[in-house]
Structure 1
Amino acid sequence: MIAYRPISLDDTDVQPLSDEAWRDGYPFVERMLHDWKSGANRFDGPGERLVGAFDDDTLVGFCGLNRDPYVSENAGRIRHLYVDLAHRHAGIARALVAQALDSASIWFPRVRLRATPASRSFYELLGFLVVDETEATHAKRLR
Structure 2
Amino acid sequence: MEYIVERINDLREVDIEELVQESEKEGYRFVTRLVNEFEDGSNTFNKPGEILFCVKNNEGSVVGIGGINQSPFSQESDVGRLRRFYVLDAVRREGVGTLLLQSIIEHAKQYFKEITVRTDSAKADAFYRACGFSFDDSASETTHILRFG
Match for residue 126 of structure 2 among 117, 121, 131 = 121
CA distance in 1, matches of 2:33, 2:125: 21
User: Which residue is 1:44 aligned to?
Assistant: 46
TM-score w.r.t. structure 2 length? 0.91
2:20 corresponds to which of 1, 13, 18: 18
Aligned CA distance change for structure 1 residues 3 and 68 (closer, same or farther; 3 Å): same
Give the Cα–Cα distance (whole angstroms) in 2 for the partners of residues 138 and 28 of structure 1: 18
CA RMSD of aligned residues (A): 1.1
**Aligned residue identity for 2:69:** N
1:53-100 deviation line (CA, Å, top 9, x unaligned) = 001210011111111011112200111111112111101001111111
Q: Which runs of 4+ in 1 moved over 4 A?
A: none
Instruction: Give the whole-Å Cα distance in 1 for the aligned partners of 2:121 and 2:5.
Output: 27
Contact 1:17 1:60 in 2 (8 A): yes
Task: Determine what percentage of the aligned residue pairs are the same residue.
Answer: 31
Higher strand share: 1
Query: C-alpha offsets along residues 79-123 of structure 1, whole Å, 9 cap, x if unaligned?
Result: 111111211110100111111111312210111110223211110
* TM-score of the two chains, using structure 1 as the length reference: 0.95
Give the SS at the match of 1:77.
Answer: strand
Displacement of 1:36 after TM fit?
A: 0.7
Q: Number of residues paired by the alignment?
A: 143
Q: What is the CA–CA distance in structure 2 between the aligned matches of 1:76 and 1:24, rounded to whole Å?
A: 26
User: Counterpart of 1:106 in structure 2: which amino acid?
Assistant: Q
